[in-house]
Amino acid sequence: MSSYPVHESLSVQQGKDIYRTEEWHKAVVQYQFESDRDTLETAVYLWHNDEGGWKRKNKYVIKSAEAWEDDRPVINWIFDTLKEPPAGPNAGKLPVSDYYSVRHAQTIFKSDEWWKAIVHVDQKGDYETNEIIIYLWQMNDGEWRRRQKYAIKSEDDWEKERDIISEFLRVPTEEYAKTPSEDDGILADIESEFEPQREESHVSEAISEQQNIT
């Protein structure tokens, strides 16, 4: 498993490439912590090969099957709403770079320390796009700091990656048909606070120790 350039504190158990070129490598990886062999996590990594070797650009931790069952239907739903009118002024409250134009957004959970949201970006600077980005921010010194980011470039990419992740987590594929609703406790104002157990099923204990990815 040495082909996956993860941090030395992690022991890779299995992995599967989504794609790999001379410059970019994206893969789904399951790993354990060297200090905690009882914990198994899944993450989607994106690395870039520069002059110093492979460097991590994005990492999306899926701590549990429950977390995936929260995220997946929201992403499905956003892809289904790409042509709908923008979500409105609330989307501007997200701590997203001004470089991005946010069309739709949905919070997965928000607490005093953590905020996870799935965002539809329809413009990057002067360029039009249709990307879905999963963000995880941590409150630090009174500001929301990005800890994780996972960008999905197209619906075709999403379907491929969704299948691989679901296979790793052993989440039934029939759940694909499920779409979120207010009754599920998912669709709500983007600043809504959700029950603490939702945060616990999403946030890796190791994330708080990571540096912000630029």
Q: What is the pTM of this model?
A: 0.78
63-116 tens-digit pLDDT: 888 888 888 888 888 888 777 766 554 555 789 988 988 888 888 888 889 999
Query: SS in 3 state form for 135-167?
Result: EEEEEECCEEEEEEEEEECCHHHHHHHHHHHHH
What does residue 139 show for φ and ψ, rounded to 5 degrees? -75, 125
Report how far residue 184's alpha carbon sits from residue 44's, in angstroms, rounded to the nearest whole number.
26
Tokens of 162: 């969704």
DSSP state at residue 194? -
The full set of domain ranges for the chain reads 10-61, 65-209
Q: Are 91 and 104 in contact (CB under 8 A)?
A: yes
14-68 tens-digit pLDDT: 999 999 999 999 999 999 887 777 778 899 999 999 887 999 999 999 988 888 8
